[in-house]
Amino acid sequence: MATQQEISEIRQHSGVGFVQTQLATLFEPPHSLKLAGGGELGPIQVAYETYGELTPAKDNAIFICHALTGDAHAAGYYEQDDEKAKPGWWDDLIGPGRALDTNKYFVICANVLGGCQGTTGPESKNPETDHSYRLDFPFITVGDIVEVHSALTKHLGIDQLLAVIGGSLGGMQVLDWAARFPDQIRGAICLATAAQLSAQGIAFNAVGRRAIKTDPEYKEGKYEKGAGPRYGLALARMIAHITYLSDQSIEMKFGRRLQDQDTFQYEMLPEVEFQVESYLHYQGKRFVERFDANSYLYLTKAMDYFDLASQYGSLTKALGKTDARFLIASYDSDWLFTTTQSKELVRALIECGKHVSFIELKSPFGHDSFLIEIKQLQKMITPFLEQAYQTRLAESAKKS
């Protein structure tokens, strides 16, 4: 347990202080989730965190959709963490006076279906066999993930969200939510995302999955928890991480600098002779410590299959039923989810008469910019949410 001094120091650095992950059980049979790929799944356990207080009218809720390898821990610290522990992955954006102001808003973040951080996924126990699902876990789509998010929102007694926000795969969830449940959200904030993954993105995912499956320890997905294809999963992460960066960010951070020597070794054996090599190995090693290989396979496949226009006939048909206001943001150095893809969303929203704001942000950090450039996000998100909130209050006042 932390001392009072440690608690004070943590609260100074983190807007929301200590937090706890909560669990909800949804879709209990016979009310199982009907999956887009066929079949059913239930019960489903969902791990989530909340920050701030829900108003009596339950009209100030914001849902955060995390990216591919994220989780529900978006802000704050866990009390049992040691002094080296890091806060939630978007901690600088959430808390009193920040863009997601917990003095005003009730913020929710949940681990996705198919994940490995508390929500039902491949390593969860199959109630029918009493063993982990592994590859018996059903195929899931982004839509299935959103179905669970929506059910969690209703479980918390919230009929309509003030906004849903997400980047990358999280942004795909936001788009699907607007199409699938058009009356459930008032605002949609989509960062560094698209209505479908590019062929290049699918290719990188395919190589990552191949790295996992060809690791001898993968054992056709039947590895024990804590074991498995550590080298293959680390390699998949290294490959993916390259796509999250930009040429400029890699050059700024590493260049061609060597790790420990002033001269080249001119040998084939060293794998971390350059600093960038060491960095990628470090990212792979850390990832293996927190993520499940089967979850990685399922979630990257869900990302590959996401195609909003094909699912609904066109983007205008997909997004035409919602009255939500949209904020779309891209980054000039992001080559995984390009500005061209964001503009495609903007054109479709304009065509069907929706309120949409768009900005291409300048950043050297590539696709990872939405996790790093917090000040830029603050400037965009704060007024967008403030307008949505004031509009909601005005509507409530008219009704009363």
Distance separating alpha carbons of residues 300 and 289, to the nearest angstrom: 19
For the question of residue 396 being annotated catalytic, the response is no
Distance separating alpha carbons of residues 172 and 182, to the nearest angstrom: 15
Distance separating alpha carbons of residues 353 and 387, to the nearest angstrom: 19
For the question of residue 81 being annotated catalytic, the response is no
In 292-398, beta strands by DSSP E? 325-331, 356-361
In the chain, beta strands by DSSP E? 22-26, 33-34, 40-41, 44-51, 61-65, 106-110, 125-126, 131-132, 163-167, 187-191, 325-331, 356-361
Q: Which residue of the set 73, 334, 363, 369 is catalytic?
A: 334
What residues contact 360, with CB distance under 8 A and at least 6 apart? Answer: 329, 330, 331, 332, 339, 342
Distance separating alpha carbons of residues 214 and 203, to the nearest angstrom: 17
Backbone angles phi, psi at 264, to 5 degrees: -70, 145
DSSP states along 46-68? EEEEEES---TT---EEEEEP-T
Q: Which residue of the set 66, 73, 149, 367 is catalytic?
A: 367
Helix, strand or coil for residue 182?
coil
**DSSP designation for 72:** S
Q: Which residue of the set 132, 168, 330, 369 is catalytic?
A: 168
For the question of residue 168 being annotated catalytic, the response is yes
101 is in an annotated binding site: no
Contact 292, 121 (CB under 8 A): yes
CA angle at 249 for the pair 243 and 253, rounded to the nearest 5°: 120
Query: Beta-carbon neighbour count of residue 131 at 10 Å?
Result: 10
Contact 307, 335 (CB under 8 A): no
Distance separating alpha carbons of residues 371 and 361, to the nearest angstrom: 13
180 is in an annotated binding site: no
Cis bond upstream, residue 30 (ω within 30) = yes
Distance separating alpha carbons of residues 363 and 370, to the nearest angstrom: 9
Cis bond upstream, residue 364 (ω within 30) = no
Residue type, 370: F
- Active site residue ranges: 168, 334, 367
Binding residues for substrate: 237, 368
